[in-house]
Amino acid sequence: MSTPSEAAPKSAGKLQFTLKTPKGTKDWADKDMVIREAIFGQLSSLFKRHGGITLDTPVFELREILAGKYGEDSKLIYNLEDQGGELGSLRYDLTVPFARYVAMNNIQSIKRYHIAKVYRRDQPAMTKGRMREFYQCDFDVAGTYESMVPDAEVLSILVEGLTSLGIKDFKIKMNHRKILDGLFQIAGVKDEDVRKISSAVDKLDKAPWEVVRKEITVEKGQTEETADIIGEYVKLNGSLQTVHDILANDKVFQANEKAVEGLKEIETLISYVNAFGIQDYISFDLSLARGLDYYTGIIFEAVTAASAPPKNASELKEKSKKQKKDDDDASEYVGVGSIVAGGRYDNLVNMFAEASGKKSTSIPCVGVSFGVERIFSLIKQRAEQNNNVRPTATQVFVMAFGGGKDWTGYLPERMKVAKKLWENGIETEYVYKSKANPRKQFDAADKSGCPLAVILGKEEYLENKLRVKRLGPEFANDDGELIDAADLIEVVKEKLSQVHEDGVDEVTRLLKGL
Site for a second copy in 400-429 (CB under 8 A): 411-413, 415-416, 419, 422-423, 425-429
Query: In this complex, which beta carbon is closest to a second copy, that of residue 85 or of residue 208?
Result: 85
Q: How far is CA 510 from CA 36, 40, 252, 407, in A?
A: 11, 14, 51, 46
Specify the stretch interacting with a second copy by CB under 8 A; choose among 115-123, 218-226, 249-257, 369-377. Answer: 115-123
> Is residue 140 part of an annotated ligand binding site?
yes
Residues paired with residue 365 on neighbouring β-strands, in sequence order: 142
Among 211, 393, 504, 514, binds a second copy (CB under 8 A): 393
Contacts of 166 (CB under 8 A, 6+ apart): 379, 382, 511, 512, 513, 514
How many whole angstroms from its chain centre is CA 213? 33
Helix, strand, or coil here: 305?
Answer: helix
Torsion of CA 395, 401, 407, 412, to 10 degrees: -10
Give 145 or 475: the residue with its C-beta nearer to a second copy.
145
Buried-exposed string 193-211: b where 16+ CB fall within 10 A, e elsewhere: bebbbbbbbbebbeeebee
Residue 27 sits in the site that holds a second copy (CB under 8 A): yes
10, 12, 17, 325: residue in contact with a second copy (rule CB under 8 A): 17
Kindly tell me which residue out of 38, 39, 42, 112 binds a second copy, with binding defined by CB under 8 A.
Answer: 112
Query: Is 443 among the annotated ligand-binding positions?
Result: no
Centroid of chain to Cα 93: 12
Of 150 and 342, CB closest to a second copy: 150
Among 171, 188, 195, 458, binds a second copy (CB under 8 A): 195
Please tell me what DSSP assigns to residue 424.
T
Q: Does 271 bind a second copy (CB under 8 A)?
A: yes
**In the window 469-508, what residues touch a second copy (CB under 8 A)?**
none
Q: What is the CA radius of gyration of the chain?
A: 29
C-beta of residue 343 within 8 angstroms of C-beta of residue 297: yes
Rounded to a whole number of angstroms, the minimum distance from the CB of residue 203 to a second copy is: 19
Cα–Cα distance between 46 and 113 in angstroms, integer?
10
**Binding to a second copy (CB under 8 A): which residues in 295-354?**
347, 351-352, 354
Cβ atoms of 397 and 453 within 8 Å: the answer is yes
DSSP string for residues in 430-499: E-S-SS--HHHHHHHHHHHT-SEEEEEEHHHHHTTEEEEEE-SGGGTT---EEEEGGGHHHHHHHHHHHH
User: Alpha helices, DSSP H only, in 168-295?
Assistant: 177-187, 194-201, 209-214, 224-234, 240-248, 251-254, 257-276
Greatest CA separation found in the chain?
Answer: 99
425-464 residues near a second copy, rule: CB under 8 A: 425-429, 432-434, 448
| Closest distance of CB 235 from a second copy, Å | 25
How many residues sit close enough to a second copy to count as binding (CB under 8 A)?
A: 117
Does position 122 interact with a second copy (CB under 8 A)? The reply is: no
- Site membership for a second copy, residue 51 (CB under 8 A): yes
Q: List the x/- string, 79-98, binding to a second copy by CB under 8 A.
A: xxxxx-xx-x-x--------
Find the shortest distance in angstroms from Cβ 299 to a second copy: 13
94 is in an annotated binding site: yes
Q: What is the footprint of a second copy within residues 175-194 (CB under 8 A)?
A: 194
Whichever of 213 and 258 has its CB closer to a second copy, that residue is 258
Window 134 to 173, contacts with a second copy (CB under 8 A): 141, 143, 145-146, 149-150, 152-153, 156, 160
- Is 294 within any annotated ligand binding site? yes
Does 68 sit near a second copy (CB under 8 A)? Answer: yes
Q: Which is nearer to a second copy, 150 or 371 (CB)?
A: 150
Q: Is 290 annotated as belonging to a binding site?
A: yes
Residue ranges for the binding site for L-histidine?
93-95, 120, 136, 140, 290, 294-295
